[in-house]
Amino acid sequence: MIGWIIVLVVLTAAGIPAGIGISKLNKEHAEARNVSLNGVDFNSLIDGEYTGSYEGGMFKWRANTVKVIVSEGKLSEIEPISGVVDQGKGSTKMLYDRVIANQSLMVDTISGATLTSKGYLKAVEIALSQAN
């Protein structure tokens, strides 16, 4: 049962439509892996509310929009507006909580691999880049 859940979660997460070629799928994944997240200086954020949208890659699978609130120079809230599908067990909320707790979009690097979360973090970055 858990096996099916995992497979379903992954297929949903990747949003794989029937009939898309594997080579295109690989291309999309490679693109997602290569999304860079380093454009925000968390030390100089200006208070305010900002929205950010990430276009979601070649097939728009990871398109999403978020609103962020900066108060007292710190990122205090991330609110999904559209396109954010929780990856199970509130994990997307945990992702946002980690960003707020660390005042950083990333740990330095990850042992393991991740794709969709990067798309979500990209929208946060685009929103926050307006606060710099």
Partner 1 sequence: MISPQPAHKEQTSMGTIMSHKAFGMYAEDCLDAVCREVARLESILSRYIPESDVSRINQNAGRNFVEVNPETFNILARSLELSAICDGNFDITIAPLVNLWNIGKNSFTQPPIREMKQVLELVNYRDLILDASSKKVGLSRPRQAIDLGGIGKGYTGDCILEIFRDFGVTSAYSNLGGNVVTLGAKPDGTPWNIGIQHPRLVDSLIGSLAVIDRSIVTSGSYQRFSNDSLGNQFHHIIDPATGYPVESGLVSVTIVSDNAMTADVLSTALFVMGVNRGMELLMSFPKTEAILMDSEEKVFVSKGLKGHFQPNEGIEYTILE
- Site for partner 1, rule CB under 8 A: 3-4, 6-7, 9-10, 13, 22, 26, 30, 33-34, 87-92, 94-95, 97-98, 102, 106-117, 120
Least separation in angstroms between residue 101's CB and partner 1 is 8
* Whole-Å CA distances, 19 to 27, 32, 56, 62, 68: 15, 20, 20, 19, 37
Nearer to partner 1, 18 or 22 (CB): 22
Nearer to partner 1, 1 or 72 (CB): 1
Least separation in angstroms between residue 48's CB and partner 1 is 26
Distance in angstroms between the alpha carbons of the first and the last residue of the chain: 47
Nearer to partner 1, 68 or 99 (CB): 99
The length of the chain, given as a count of residues: 132
Residue 72: partners with Cβ closer than 8 Å, 6 or more residues away: 47
